[in-house]
């Protein structure tokens, strides 16, 4: 019997991230009907022991929104020249297809809604794409709940930067497709090997609880601009600001708990008071590094 024919086929893990066209309301030139086109993809492939075997990155030339918005450039770090010179959607998917022929995978892990966004992009902007490329999209699986269950015993909605924090990395997301794919690979390896920081995990859970409660009670997203103008013109408005700051100080002092913290709903009220008199938020809960 030929051993080569009976040998078990080797499979790999793949970690994927992507960036998409995006815009702000002021970007009148942007075709909103075709938003969310793929701009870049990043891929990390490793063996079952999490030994890194391949990485892949490519920008993609979009079909409809070929001009990057300022917001998109700032968020992703991509330049217009990179996008102008980038290969087509089909060319990039062909390269990924060949990679998966060389390194077979059963699933391609993503973080968050990449799987949904890519399938939506295919249906909306690339309706006649090859079937083999659709199969790649079909392998995309959100790994969020799997990893959070390992840490908390339940599925939770965490950001990639939250998971990086738990794994001893910086609480930051690069918004570069390859760097984020590498981070996803690292945090998955960390969690699978049980090397995450349990103290940081507890700290993060408490922070998320306080942050979410704060935003639940917060009513104003930013200072009311007209109050700033009034404050510059009328002394009575300046007096109102001073009185508000005094009231906030007394309120926080009276509501302070035994552990020295102030309930998030009180912090939200304090920042709403600041917003009413044209002052930026100061009390949104922060995560300790």
From first to last of its 289 residues, the chain has per-residue pLDDT tens of 455 554 467 899 999 999 999 998 888 899 888 889 999 999 999 999 999 999 999 999 999 999 999 999 999 999 999 999 999 999 999 999 999 999 999 999 999 999 999 999 999 999 999 999 999 999 999 999 999 999 999 988 899 999 999 999 999 999 999 999 999 999 999 999 999 999 999 999 999 999 999 999 999 988 876 544 544 555 577 788 899 999 999 999 999 999 999 999 999 999 999 999 889 999 999 998 7
Give CA–CA dist 221/215, Å, rounded. 9
- Prediction pTM value: 0.85
Degrees (nearest 5) of the Cα angle 71, 73, 78? 155
Strand partners, 141: 109
Supply φ then ψ for residue 62, to 5 degrees: -70, 160
Give CA–CA dist 170/178, Å, rounded. 17
* Domain boundaries for CATH 3.30.420.10 within the chain: 7-196
CB-CB contact of 96 with 41 (8 Å):
yes
> What does CATH list as the number for 7-196?
3.30.420.10
């Amino acid at each position: 019997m030929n051993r080569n024919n009976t040998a078990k086929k080797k499979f790999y893990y793949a970690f994927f991230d992507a960036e998409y066209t995006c815009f702000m309301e002021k970007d009148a030139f942007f075709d909103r009907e075709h938003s969310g086109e793929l701009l870049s993809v990043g891929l990390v492939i490793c063996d079952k022991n999490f030994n890194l075997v391949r990485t892949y990155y490519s920008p993609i030339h979009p079909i409809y929104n070929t001009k990057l918005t300022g917001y998109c450039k700032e968020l992703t770090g991509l330049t217009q020249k990179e996008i102008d010179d980038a290969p087509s959607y089909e060319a990039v998917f062909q390269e990924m297809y060949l990679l998966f022929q060389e390194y077979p995978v059963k699933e391609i892990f993503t973080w968050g809604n990449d799987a949904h966004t890519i399938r939506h992009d295919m249906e909306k902007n690339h309706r006649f794409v090859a079937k083999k490329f659709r199969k790649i999209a079909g392998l995309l699986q959100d790994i969020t709940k799997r990893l959070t269950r390992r840490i908390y015993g339940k599925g939770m909605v965490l950001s990639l930067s939250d998971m990086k924090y738990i794994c001893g990395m910086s609480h930051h997301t690069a918004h570069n497709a390859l760097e984020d794919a590498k981070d996803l690979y690292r945090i998955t390896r960390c969690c699978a090997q049980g090397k995450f920081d349990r103290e940081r995990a507890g700290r993060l859970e408490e922070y998320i609880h306080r942050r979410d409660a704060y935003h639940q009670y917060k009513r104003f997203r930013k200072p009311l601009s007209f109050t700033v103008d009034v404050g510059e013109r009328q002394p009575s408005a300046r007096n109102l600001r001073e009185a508000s700051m005094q009231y906030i100080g007394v309120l926080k002092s009276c509501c302070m708990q035994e552990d020295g913290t102030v309930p998030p709903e009180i912090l939200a009220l304090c920042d709403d008071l600041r917003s009413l008199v044209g002052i930026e938020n100061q009390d949104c809960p922060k995560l300790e590094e």
